[in-house]
A and B are shown apart, each in its own frame.
Chain A
Amino acid sequence: GAVVSQHPSWVICKSGTSVKIECRSLDFQATTMFWYRQFPKQSLMLMATSNEGSKATYEQGVEKDKFLINHASLTLSTLTVTSAHPEDSSFYICSAKNTEAFFGQGTRLTVV
C-alpha cells in the first residue's frame, strides 16, 4: 500500500512554545489530507481536512488559530500547535487520501 510518513514520532515541548508536525505522502500525490487527534483509550477524532492550495476546513470545536494547518504541496501537510499547553498533549495522526485513506505513524506530543 501507499506510504505516509509523519514526523516527528514523538516530541516534548515546554508550555507556551509551538510545535510543527509534518505529514508526507511518499509515493503518491494527495489532494486531501486529514488530521486526527486521539486521547488515550479513545478513538480518533477528526480535527481538520486539508486540501492542497486552499485553507483547511476545521471540525466544530477545533480552534483554527491554535492548530494551524498548511498544505503547500500535493505531498506535504503540516500541523502547527501554537502556544501549546499541557491539555494539548495527545497523539496526533495524519492521513492522506488517494483512492483510500493511508495513515501516518502518529506523533506523541507531550507538553510540560
Chain B
Amino acid sequence: KQEVTQIPAALSVPEGENLVLNCSFTDSAIYNLQWFRQDPGKGLTSLLLIQSSQREQTSGRLNASLDKSSGRSTLYIAASQPGDSATYLCAVIRDQGGKLIFGQGTELSVKP
C-alpha cells in the first residue's frame, strides 16, 4: 500500500530564505508526482507536475525534484515571501487512472 510522508509538518522562516520541503513515498512504481498549494479553507492549486520519467520541474521560484529509486521528492522555494505562506501537499499518482495519494502536508509560514 502506497504511503506518502511529508517532513516537516510545519515550518516557519523569515522572508527571503530559501527552503526545502520533503516528500517520501513507499512504492517507487508511480506514474506522476504532483505538488499543490492549499490556502486555509480553500481548494488546491497545482504547482508542479513531474512525470515519472522526469527528474525535475521548475516554475518561477519553485523547483521540484523526483528520485523514484529512493522514493523522494523535494520542493525548493527560492527567496521566500509572506505570500508563500500556505500548506504544501505532495501527491503521487499511481497510474493513468489519476487517483492521487496525498501526504499530510507541510504548513509553511513566511514571516515578514
Q: Which residues of A contact B (CB under 8 A)?
A: 1, 4, 6, 32, 34, 42-46, 49, 91, 93, 95, 97, 100-106, 108
Contacts and interface: CB of A to CB of B under 8 A. Distances in A.
B89 A44 contact: yes
Given A43-B105, A44-B89, A49-B99, A100 B42 contact: no
B49 interface: yes
A interface secondary structure, majority: strand
Interface of B: 32, 34, 36, 41-46, 49, 89, 93, 97-105
Contacts of A101: 34, 46, 93, 98, 100
Contacts of B93: 101
A34 B97 CA distance: 11
B51 to A, nearest CB: 10
Contacts of B43: 4, 6, 93, 103-106
A95 B103 CA distance: 17
A34 B99 contact: yes
B58 to A, nearest CB: 17
A100 B36 CA distance: 12
Chain A CB count within 10 A is highest, among B36, B44, B99, B101, for B44
B97 A100 contact: no
Given A100-B34, A100-B49, A101-B34, A46 B44 contact: no
Given A43-B105, A44-B89, A101-B34, A32 B42 contact: no
